[in-house]
Amino acid sequence: MKLYYSSGACGISPSIALHEAGLSFDAIAVDLATKKTENGVDFYTINPKGSIPVLELSTGTILTEGPAILQYIADQVPDKNLAPVNGTMARYHFQERLNFITSEMHKGFIPFFEAYGYPENARPAAQEILRRKFAYVNDVLAKQDYVMGDQFSLADGYLYNVTRWTPAAEINIQSEFPNIYKFMERMETRSSVQKTLKTEGTPAFVA
């Protein structure tokens, strides 16, 4: 398999997932500004949407969108319990968590990345909306160690991924949301996270 990523962006989550699953893959960097892979391939020929992450299977099938990729990876190794079993209420709650992270948190960071050209005066409102989302997650993590309870799931890799962007929104997780900060500390002890950060050349979040 091949995972197409851009350092520090939303490819962190599926990389963590692949390492947790113990699946072999090649990580291929993409320059999102030029839409070229590290090998000079036009990225639009791989994903016409032009976005990462992209998982290319050994069959040549292309799978896009983080939540879909995470569930595919989990279902390849059901014995590792990286996601609840399909068809169970727990699986629907897992999808609920993934959807919250992708639509309410992930997309909430768009105004803070220069490429999108949002006006400066739009940022305070976007920041407060994000704070409300993180406050909800902070309350959840006051009662449990991980997104789904006391056991790690691939939703945790996604939460770890988007939380890394909080400095761009001038949100101080350590002082404002201490339960999330402790979660980030737990995540960075995992070898899957350490391997991913090494591949991407990205520093740890926790000092």
Q: Please list the alpha-helical segments (H only) found in the chain.
A: 12-21, 66-76, 89-100, 123-140, 154-163, 173-176, 178-187, 191-200
Per residue in 28-51, pLDDT tens? 999 999 999 999 999 999 999 999
Selection from 37, 45, 41, 47 nearest residue 68 by Cα: 47
Could you give the CA distance from residue 176 to residue 136 in angstroms, rounded to a whole number? 12
Residue 136, classed as helix, strand or coil, is: helix
Sorted by where each starts, the structural domains of the chain and their CATH numbers stand as 2-79 (3.40.30.10), 84-190 (1.20.1050.10)
The reported pTM is: 0.96
Q: Is the preceding peptide bond at 167 cis, omega within 30 degrees of 0?
A: no
Q: What pLDDT score does 120 carry?
A: 81
pLDDT in tens, 86-145: 999 999 999 999 999 999 999 999 999 876 677 888 889 999 999 999 999 999 999 999
**Token duo for residue 189:** 């002890």
As a whole number, mean pLDDT of residues 39-64 equals 97
DSSP code per residue over 101-122? IIIIIGGGGGGGSGGG---GGG
